[in-house]
Amino acid sequence: MTTIATQFGIKAALAQLGIQDINEGTSTGTQSFATGAILESYSPVDGQLIAKVKTTSAADYEKVMQAAIEAFQSFRLIPAPQRGEMVRQFGEKLRQNKEALGKLVSYEMGKSLQEGYGEVQEMIDICDFAVGLSRQLHGLTMHSERPNHRMYEQYHPLGVVGIISAFNFPVAVWSWNAALALVCGDVCIWKPSEKTPLCGIACQNILSEVLKENNLPEGISCLINGDYKLGELLTSDSRIPLISATGSTRMGKIVAQTVAGRLGKSLLELGGNNAIIVTPDADIKMTVIGAVFGAVGTAGQRCTSTRRLIIHESVYDKVKTALVAAYQQLRIGNPLDQNNHVGPLIDTDAVEKYNKALEKAVIEGGKILVEGAVLSGSGYESGCYVQPAIVEAENSFEIVQQETFAPILYLLKYTGTVENAIAIQNSVAQGLSSAIMTTNLREAELFLSTAGSDCGIANVNIGTSGAEIGGAFGGEKETGGGRESGSDAWKVYMRRQTNTINYGSTLPLAQGIKFDL
Q: What residues are annotated to the active site?
A: 269
Phi, psi dihedrals of residue 289, rounded to the nearest 5°: -60, -50
Contact 288, 323 (CB under 8 A): yes
d(CA 343, CA 387): 10
Q: From residue 283, how far is each of 210, 272, 290, 440, 449 by CA, in Å? A: 48, 25, 11, 10, 22
Cα 330 to Cα 327: distance, rounded to the nearest angstrom? 5
Q: Tell me the Cα Rg of the chain.
A: 25
Burial class (CB in 10 A: 0-12, 13-18, 19+), 77: exposed
User: E-strand spans in 220-287?
Assistant: 221-223, 242-246, 265-269, 274-278
Enumerate the β-bridge partners of residue 41.
51
Q: How far apart are CA 499 and CA 95, in angstroms?
A: 41
Instruction: For residue 423, give Cα distances in angstroms to 61, 204, 277.
Output: 47, 44, 11
On the 0-12 / 13-18 / 19+ scale of CB atoms within 10 A, 346 is buried
Of the candidates 129, 90, 99, the one whose C-alpha atom is nearest the C-alpha of residue 9 is: 99
